[in-house]
Structure 1
Amino acid sequence: MGNFIGHAAPGCFFMFFGLWWTIRYSVMWASRLGGRTTRSAHEACCCSGPLRFLKRVPIEGLVKMTIATGGIIFEQLVAHWILIDPKTGHFHILGNWQHTTMYAFFLLNGFCDVLIALKAPLPSGIDFATLSLAVSVEGLLFFYHLHGRTDLDVHVHQLLILAIAPSVAVTGLEAWNPRTVHLPMLRAALAMLQGTWLWQAGFILYPPFPGHEWDLENHENMMFVSMAFCWHILGILLFMCVVYTVVYHIYQAKEKQLGTDLELGTAVFTHAADTLGLRSGLANVSPISMTSDIKC
């Protein structure tokens, strides 16, 4: 990670999953607030064959494994899989090996996600436990990654650790209470915070544009960076509110359309029953199952 790309790439990883989780759990939250006992709008939309198939594919786990594997390969393109230099007897580019270790634990978490999606006989909550472990390893490696660095460099990474530490606690709690919605939304916010702050760290420590270098020993810069970290938190919370609002209104529109389809299906079926003289049998017919046949 000793360059801008080295910070931006894992930043994209965390931002992607933060956004993914925000949308996913916003839909879940909206469905709970709706409180419908009929088929949800999500189920109605996923009724067709291709979407039903995609719903069963462990996309999240596969994406984690793909990105983590890519990160390992990228780091080892520089380290060449050499831990100890045979000529000097010293460690060889140890920073890249630390990053490889971090990616390996996220690869393990993705593998567990895939196994769970495939109904493997694993302990309950193992996906959250391995995610908590991966984030713990990330925090541990970053904590001991700061020796001999400038004050601003150390401060930027310490702020990153402040985003990592609660992520460990949140994912650990999810292993015990996986059905809550509040903890996943907090996990999403912390993931996006890690992602945006890694990008910010890249711009501060390794500015991609010439002429925009930071004074890494200036105390005012450290004060500004602390304030900027708070701005990141505020911006992420506002962004999540916008995403949830959009998802909620889309969900409500789908639910309204589903309710209209139910009423239309009931009217059509009633008319057909009247025509055939079967109105007395309507009491034993479920409009939901009737609409399911119509839509699917």
Structure 2
Amino acid sequence: MGSFKGHIVPGTLFLVVGLWHIWCSLVRYASNPKTFRVRVWNPVPGFGGRVKYLELYVIAVGAFFDLCIEFLYSTHLKIFVIGVLNPSHMNDFEHSGMLLMFFIFGIIALLSEKTSFLPLPEGALCFIVSAAFTAEYLLFYFHSTTHKGLEGYYHLILVLLIVLCITSTIAGAIMPTSFPADLCSGIAITLQGLWFYQTAFTLYGPMMPDGCRLKGNEISCGSTGHEVYGELLANFQLFVQVFGVLVGVTGAYIYAEQKFGRPTLVSSSAPEGS
């Protein structure tokens, strides 16, 4: 069982990183399609280069902050019971493992970019972040907390979005010049962040479907019909999010093309003399 804050915090991280990835991908492609390369992270321009690695710091610090919440605060420091991991907080330990993978990616990427100790190509970083997404997938697929009913349906959609994140990042490593793979990665991360938000507001907030309620640590629906209605509502919410993101991406690309696009050079040749 999760919580409102437990979904909002990681959702915010995924949403911020995903939106930034989409924008940078569009700008780089609009600026020069021929030299486009997949990037697993994007530098922040300006300020004399002082915030160049801001995205990596957001990933590393954000994952570490959320890790501390899950591993220390949520467990109330009752980590071990009779010499073994506290079985009452296995859910928190699993979340911690997932966040640890993203923290490791952030640290490795910073070491690779800022030092000479661990120089890695962009493809290797793509595989590392895909490993972090894979750990997240395994967490939600083999969760110690059994997600059933409406809660299980929302987490099933989340798992599918995570699979899209894994696939797009691996595709970026295999096809390093593919604009669709790079853009799809940003869209998948953004949708994952939005779905964390949607899950928080629906299952633990004010958007609970009619006939369903949060009781104790379980979400129960009054009848099968109410549960089916909740699942159909989830489908509609996902459609709205996908449609909204695609419309936003289209608008952002039009703007990026107008602002950063290179003018087409039309070469004219003189007519041949007779």
Shorter chain as denominator, the TM-score bin is 0.7 to 0.9
Could you tell me how far apart the structure 2 residues matched to 1:65 and 1:130 are?
Answer: 14
| One-letter identity of the residue aligned with 2:131 | L
TM-score normalized with structure 1 length: 0.73
Match of 1:25?
25
Match of 2:178 among 177, 180, 185: 180
TM-score normalized with structure 2 length: 0.78
- The answer (yes or no) to whether the contact 1:83–1:92 under 8 Å persists in 2 is no
Match of 2:61 among 43, 62, 66: 66
Match of 1:140?
138
- The answer (yes or no) to whether the contact 1:135–1:168 under 8 Å persists in 2 is yes
- The answer (yes or no) to whether the contact 1:60–1:113 under 8 Å persists in 2 is no
Question: Could you say if the C-alpha distance between residues 88 and 133 of structure 1 is closer, same or farther in structure 2, counting changes exceeding 3 Å?
Answer: closer
- The answer (yes or no) to whether the contact 2:201–2:208 under 8 Å persists in 1 is no
Taking only the aligned residue pairs, the percentage that are identical comes to 22
Which residues of 2 match residues 45-194 of structure 1 at below 5 A?
51-54=47-50, 57-75=52-70, 76-86=72-82, 90-120=86-116, 121-124=118-121, 125-145=123-143, 147-194=145-192
Larger Rg: 1
Deviation for aligned residue 1:208: 4.7
Match of 1:231?
240
Could you tell me how far apart the structure 1 residues matched to 2:255 and 2:191 are?
Answer: 21
Higher strand share: 2
Could you tell me how far apart the structure 1 residues matched to 2:207 and 2:24 are?
Answer: 36
| One-letter identity of the residue aligned with 1:60 | E
Deviation for aligned residue 1:231: 2.0
Question: Could you say if the C-alpha distance between residues 164 and 231 of structure 1 is closer, same or farther in structure 2, counting changes exceeding 3 Å?
Answer: same
| One-letter identity of the residue aligned with 2:22 | T
Could you tell me how far apart the structure 2 residues matched to 1:146 and 1:194 are?
Answer: 21
Gaps of 5+ in 2: 36-44, 214-219, 222-226, 264-274
Could you tell me how far apart the structure 1 residues matched to 2:3 and 2:158 are?
Answer: 17
Question: Could you say if the C-alpha distance between residues 143 and 211 of structure 1 is closer, same or farther in structure 2, counting changes exceeding 3 Å?
Answer: closer
Deviation for aligned residue 1:147: 4.8
Number of residue equivalences = 241
- The answer (yes or no) to whether the contact 1:112–1:126 under 8 Å persists in 2 is no
CA RMSD of aligned residues (A): 2.8
Match of 2:266?
none
Higher helix share: 1
Could you tell me how far apart the structure 2 residues matched to 1:202 and 1:228 are?
Answer: 13
Gaps of 5+ in 1: 37-45, 257-296
Match of 1:15?
15
Deviating beyond 4 angstroms after TM superposition, the runs of 4 or more aligned structure 1 residues are: 87-90, 208-213
Question: Could you say if the C-alpha distance between residues 83 and 23 of structure 1 is closer, same or farther in structure 2, counting changes exceeding 3 Å?
Answer: same
Match of 2:42?
none
